[in-house]
Amino acid sequence: MKALIREYFPEDPHTAIAIATCESGLKPHAFNPNNPNGTTDGGLWQINSVHDNRLNQLGLDKYDPEDA
C-alpha cells in the first residue's frame, strides 16, 4: 500500500502515508460505522458516506485505493 501511495503522492509521500495510517491503518477496506450524525466512513482515506452518490456517479469506489 505504501508503494501505491508514494506513486500517487510523489511530492510528499511521507505525509500521505501518515494520513492513511491514521485514517485506516493502511487498510483499504476499513469501515467506521460510528459517526454521531449517522454517516459512515470507509476506505484507505475514510471517505464519508455523504460523498457516496457522487462517487457512484463518477464510477469510483472508495474501497479501491486507486480510485480513492
Cα separation, 61 vs 29, whole angstroms:
11
Do 6 and 40 meet the contact criterion of CB atoms below 8 Å apart?
no
Q: Quick one: which H or E segment has residue 14?
A: helix 13-24
Cα separation, 33 vs 49, whole angstroms:
10
The whole-number pLDDT of residue 27 equals 98
Look over the chain and give the mean of its residue pLDDT values, rounded to a whole number: 98
The whole-number pLDDT of residue 52 equals 98
The whole-number pLDDT of residue 64 equals 98
The whole-number pLDDT of residue 58 equals 98
Residues 23-55: pLDDT tens digits?
Answer: 999 999 999 999 999 999 999 999 999 999 999
pTM of the model: 0.92
The whole-number pLDDT of residue 36 equals 97
